[in-house]
Amino acid sequence: MPATKISSNKHTALHIGVRAAIADVETAILPELQALTNASNVTKWDGYDFGVEASETDEDRVLTDAATAATRGYENFGGSIAFFPPLPGEVGTPERAVRSLVSTPHTELVLTQRDGYAASAAWAPGQVYNAFHVITDANSEQRGDKNRFYTIDFRPKGAVGINRIVPSLTPTAVAITGPAAVGVGESIQLRAAYEGNDITVGAVWVSSDESIAVVTPHGKVIGIADGEVEITATYPGSAAGTAHEITVSA
């Protein structure tokens, strides 16, 4: 998806739930997201240090590897988040709900970050978010000049879904647009949209016959030989859509 500058002023949301709340962190469905607890109003902004980092480089080579060979390690994410505590005896509040979720060490949770929409806004199809499978670690109580707060460390435990799109209750298909013909040895650019988002970079592109035309991960179709071919694009959670037919000619 194209890079877009998004204001964080009242437009960053943090939602938390037990790990079992979402069956697949990478392809959450709308009811699962709606069941999460919105922790935005109890999260301390200057105590929010959580997100994705570059994975570490693994240089543990074998005898058959080149001298400069290196691979990337596992996905690297996590950090710490500070929350405001509930008042003594307070029940049924967001502060109490969040405290109950995060305060026990070694608890597996799902955290979602959503930017670009009002923090209080309900989940809706087409929204873009990140999801993380984490486990709670250290818990520290702190007192500021004017308030009290507690900080939880979150460590990576499993999968992470970056720039995921909330699907509709009834799955919708990816829509493909672009030219319908290409010459042999030439290329054309197709575009894909899903739930109102441009997913040209991010969709899974497939050619029905790569001896006639191939399609790159970015939707560029390259003509190989005379004939007709169908190009499809899918996205996690999408329904099967109509193929885009392309004629290749010399």
What pLDDT is recorded for position 59? 56
What pLDDT is recorded for position 61? 56
Among residues 121, 140, 165, the one where a domain terminates is 165
Question: Does residue 73 lie within any of the structural domains?
Answer: yes
Helix runs in 4-84, H state only: 30-34
Q: Cβ contacts of residue 82 below 8 Å, gap of 6+?
A: 43, 44, 46, 47, 48, 142, 149, 150, 151, 152
Print pLDDT tens along the chain (250 aa): 445 544 456 789 999 999 999 999 989 999 999 999 999 999 999 899 998 764 454 555 556 655 554 444 446 789 999 999 999 888 999 999 999 999 999 999 999 999 999 999 999 999 999 999 999 998 899 886 678 999 999 999 988 999 999 999 999 999 999 999 999 999 999 999 999 999 999 999 999 999 999 999 999 999 999 999 999 999 998 999 899 999 999 8
Q: Which one-letter amino acid corresponds to residue 174?
A: V
Count the domains in the chain: 2
- CATH (domain of 137): 2.30.110
Question: Does residue 7 lie within any of the structural domains?
Answer: no
Question: Does residue 225 lie within any of the structural domains?
Answer: yes
Residues 20 and 122 in one domain: yes
Residues 105 and 66 in one domain: yes
Among residues 165, 192, 221, the one where a domain terminates is 165
Burial of 200 (0-12, 13-18, 19+ CB in 10 A): buried
What pLDDT is recorded for position 10? 78
Q: Which domain holds residue 129?
A: 12-165
Q: How far is CA 74 from CA 31, 55, 67, 156, in A?
A: 29, 6, 22, 10
Q: Shortest CA distance to 203 belongs to which of 233, 179, 239, 162?
A: 233
What pLDDT is recorded for position 147? 81
- CATH (domain of 180): 2.60.40.1080
Residues 112 and 188 in one domain: no
Residues 150 and 184 in one domain: no
- Against a cut of 0.85, is the pTM above it? no
Residues 68 and 154 in one domain: yes
Residues 180 and 229 in one domain: yes
What pLDDT is recorded for position 67? 55
What pLDDT is recorded for position 142? 84
